[in-house]
Amino acid sequence: MSFFDTHTHLDYLQRSTGESLSSLVANALLADVQKILIVAVKQDDFENILNMTALFPSQLYCGLGLHPLYIQEHQLTHLDNLENYLRQSSTNLTAIAEIGLESSIPELLTDECWKKQCEFLEAQLLLAKQYQLPVNLHSRKSHDQLFTFVKRLQLPKAGVLHGFSGSYEQAKKFVELGYKIGVGGVITYQRANKTRQVISKLPLEALVLETDTPDMPVFGFQGQVNRPERVAETFKSLCELRAESPEVIQDVIWKNSCKMFA
């Protein structure tokens, strides 16, 4: 089987463990993870992530973007820098990511910070539209607000709603606009009943797999850094939730992911 981990911070995993990039890629390949998308959170990540993907162009792809969690650090010049990298059109730069809205941290919800979150989101969505790239979207307690942006701007390549934890109705609205739903380790926990139910009902063509490496550990690996190879654990849980055969699930999700990010 072939898997595509569509959302990782592989640079942060490497930094935290000290492992070589070749070792991380080899371990992923042993678990049939053939392709990995590395997403940025800050301007300072951009150059390193591009260098990583250049070393393994058949396995590694990347998305550059400014994450809402760090909105207080982002400057307008960082948006200019992002566009400069997009203009250079690196082959394996296949997304604008990770971008979105964050509504669970009080200090990021002041009028000033929320306004800045919205401005940076819109600016990056417009870059995605201009350069015809998909986006990988962070949305914590902000699905409805985020939806108003993506519906209004109508991106030609849409993208993925990462780490989704909303309702079926919310997911369905994004899917109807052409977005995929990122399926991560949360579905490996029996207690995550709402998310498991949503994932079981959505069209298979609307799903992709992700780990959020080194975050969001799967069940059985709590307290450990997450890794791309753990996408296989999420796949097992997904197969338990779906009526389709594992072979069909793997094939459709692989094609979904490659079409979006490779």
Helix (H, G, I), strand (E, B) or coil at 4: strand
Question: What span, in angstroms and rounded, lies between the C-alpha atoms of 184 and 238?
Answer: 9
DSSP state, 218?
P
Question: 10 is written with which tokens?
Answer: 């592989």
Pairing status of strand 207-209 against strand 159-162: unpaired
Q: Please indicate if the annotation marks 233 as binding a ligand.
A: no
74 assigned to a ligand binding site? no
- CB environment 6-44: b (16+ within 10 A), e (fewer): bbbbbbbbbeeeeeebeebbeebbebebbbbbbbbbebe
Amino acid at 43: Q
67 is in an annotated binding site: no
The annotation status of 7 as a binding-site residue, yes or no, is yes
Residues 6+ apart with CB under 8 A from 156: 129, 132
Q: What string of DSSP letters covers 182-202? A: EE-GGGGSTT-HHHHHHHHHS
Q: Which residues are annotated as a binding site for a divalent metal cation?
A: 7, 9, 98, 138, 162, 212
Q: Indicate the annotated binding residues.
A: 7, 9, 98, 138, 162, 212
